[in-house]
Structure 1
Amino acid sequence: MRAVIYDAYAADNSRLKLGEVPDPKVGPGQVLVEVRAAGVNPVDWKLMAGGLDAMMDVWFPVVPGWDVAGVVRAVGPDTPEFSPGDEVMSYARKDVVRAGTFAQYVAVPASAAAHKPPALDWHQAGGLPLAGMTALRSLDRLEVAAGDTLLLHGASGGVGSAALQIGRDRGARVIGTASEPNHDYLRALGAEPVTYGEGLVERVRKLVPEGVTAVADFVGGQVETTLAVLAEGGRHVSVADNSVERRGGHWIWVRPDGAKLAELAGLAERGVLTVEVAGSFPLEEVGAAFDLSRSGHARGKLVITP
């Protein structure tokens, strides 16, 4: 099958290439998915640069990609949850970094898959799993509920926009940081936008003099700002900065979980959650997608479409 691979770590796209790799085997409890769309996440190019080498085993050559939406073409033994022809999505991270989703086919554990909701098209479904589940896990860890004032650092990105929508559905007041061109987008989703950068503490305190009750950092490097605007007894998490654990917060690392993904699918079906797609790229242009992701200026999700 056709797939994008890299055969060594690289901080740029120099090791990326399009090639032929063996078709995936489908073991017990697995499903073979024909990929229709695969979301791009910052972790994809950070992995390629060796950023997680101390944490995860890597077997070269690597097919990057952890998100997928597609059609089940085969199931392994004892996999009653799915049948060929089912439309599914998955956060398909495995214990060893090797066989990812930027390919024509990928085998994923049935426990990590969920049925694609009809409310989402292929591009949206392909971009939802990791971002949506990170947002959901963050808000679950924060125990966000009605009456909370929730601050989101990086509210216009894929994770931030999902957290914004989930937080609003739970009855929270949501304040989101973003560049000014994205303020109308945040308002349309139900948040109060503030510009990030110098003066952010003062801008948030002007909106919420008593301080916010919960903060989710989807950018990194925001601990001091978070603590400066957090009300007494407030909670905070980060997906990008493990130093929060030394400052009373929690570092979020989402797990593959089909049941949680199905929960997100239910929110999409209720009209609570949608996915902004910033762009789609064929396998030949994964490098361009990585460049745009690295820039930090993509609003919503980027997807690969084999």
Structure 2
Amino acid sequence: MRIITQHQLGGPEVLTVEEAPKPRPRPTEVLVRVEAIGLNPLEARLREGEFPLLGPPPFVLGWDISGVVDQAQTGRLRPGDEVFGMPLFPRAANAYAEFVAAPALHLARKPAALSHAEAAALPIVGLTAWQGLVDLARVGEGDRVLVHGGGGGVGHVAIQIAKALGAQVITTAGESKREFVEGLGADEVIDYAKTDFAEAVREVDVVLDTLGGDTAERSLGVLRPGGHLVTAVADEDTELAARYEAAGLRFSGIAVDPDPSGLHALVGLVERGALRVHVQEAFPFERVADAHRRLEGGHLQGKLVLTV
């Protein structure tokens, strides 16, 4: 089979397509013939060596996959089943490949409403948003939720999940993405280039930070007493967490994991028409370097994927 690997840390040019043996599924695992691979900003950071999650090269990046079960060492899934998921995260899943061996529990049957490209774009961003809004923040009917970066990968899914939970959703986004995020259900859109959200928003129950930088710190003043900041990017900032707690607010970091119940909850939202996934661009497998250059360019609307 073909894999995408790297033998040194660096820019997109270090990613190379090579041949490798197919993995063998262990008991409780399946072998998935991959149709599409979701790309995430984390993978560009790992490629460059920003932190050693996967150890030194050579390694194979990637977690988000959608494809067809080729072999099954479990009764949960059968050959021919269309599946998707983010197996093994944060351990290496070696997902930039034509075949991936994965625990059956880390996969769900692909909803018919999603293409393989759309399904591959969903797991990490969908589970991040679900675990942040549902498991941590317990968002419910009538809550006011501020989603930072509503046009991006996590943000565009989070808007829809919050709306499905009955929340009023405010989001920050550039003017070019206003129509997009309004179409997802955002009740109020703040153009960050023209308006300071910290001055424009008050009495929010939950803030979901997907941006980093000083966003989490500046969000402190927009929350109502007892409000909750959930961050996907500043989860290890203990000093900031202490400031939130001192102000009578809650601070939580998301450490996303391949939770089967969360994945199936996302399937349920898709099947009832409450959740869709936007793929900005799909790149052929062999154009992975171009895809990573686009990934690093930022300002994405939704997600990027590789097709196999």
Q: TM-score range by the shorter chain?
A: over 0.9
Matched, 1:51 2:43: no
Distance 1:31 1:247, change over 3 A: farther
Aligned to 1:293: 295
Question: Which letter maps to 1:120?
Answer: L
C-alpha displacement at 1:32, in angstroms? 0.4
Matched, 1:69 2:66: yes
Which residue, 228, 253, 256 being the options, matches 1:251?
253
Contact 2:190 2:197 in 1 (8 A): no
Which residue, 225, 249, 256 being the options, matches 1:232?
225
C-alpha displacement at 1:246, in angstroms? 3.5
CA RMSD of aligned residues (A): 1.6
Contact 1:150 1:175 in 2 (8 A): yes
Aligned to 1:6: 6
Contact 1:156 1:182 in 2 (8 A): yes
Other structure's SS at 2:14 match? coil
Matched, 1:125 2:119: yes
Contact 1:92 1:100 in 2 (8 A): no
Other structure's SS at 1:63 match? coil
For these two proteins, the number of residue pairs brought into alignment is 296
> Hey, which bits of structure 1, 4+ residues long, moved more than 4 A?
none
Aligned to 1:115: 109
Distance 1:95 1:154, change over 3 A: closer
Measured in 2, the distance between the counterparts of 1:51 and 1:149 equals: 35
Measured in 1, the distance between the counterparts of 2:199 and 2:31 equals: 49
C-alpha displacement at 1:8, in angstroms? 2.2
C-alpha displacement at 1:102, in angstroms? 1.6
Matched, 1:215 2:210: no
Other structure's SS at 2:255 match? coil
Measured in 1, the distance between the counterparts of 2:27 and 2:89 equals: 15
Measured in 2, the distance between the counterparts of 1:169 and 1:68 equals: 25
Question: Which letter maps to 2:20?
Answer: V
Q: Deviations over 1:79-116 (max 9, x none)?
A: 1100000000011234543x521211111111111110
Question: Which letter maps to 1:302?
Answer: L
C-alpha displacement at 1:73, in angstroms? 0.2
Measured in 2, the distance between the counterparts of 1:136 and 1:96 equals: 20
Q: Deviations over 1:96-146 (max 9, x none)?
A: 43x521211111111111110111111110101111010101102111111
Distance 1:95 1:157, change over 3 A: closer
C-alpha displacement at 1:198, in angstroms? 6.7
Which residue, 83, 105, 114 being the options, matches 2:78?
83
Contact 1:64 1:101 in 2 (8 A): yes
Measured in 2, the distance between the counterparts of 1:200 and 1:95 equals: 35
The TM-score with structure 2 as length reference comes to 0.92
Measured in 1, the distance between the counterparts of 2:120 and 2:66 equals: 5
Measured in 2, the distance between the counterparts of 1:239 and 1:155 equals: 13
Aligned to 2:283: 281
Q: Deviations over 1:273-302 (max 9, x none)?
A: 000110001111111111111121110111
Distance 1:258 1:202, change over 3 A: closer
Distance 1:233 1:123, change over 3 A: same
Aligned to 1:182: 177
C-alpha displacement at 1:262, in angstroms? 1.1
Question: What are the ranges of 5 or more consecutive residues in structure 2 without an aligned counterpart?
Answer: 245-250
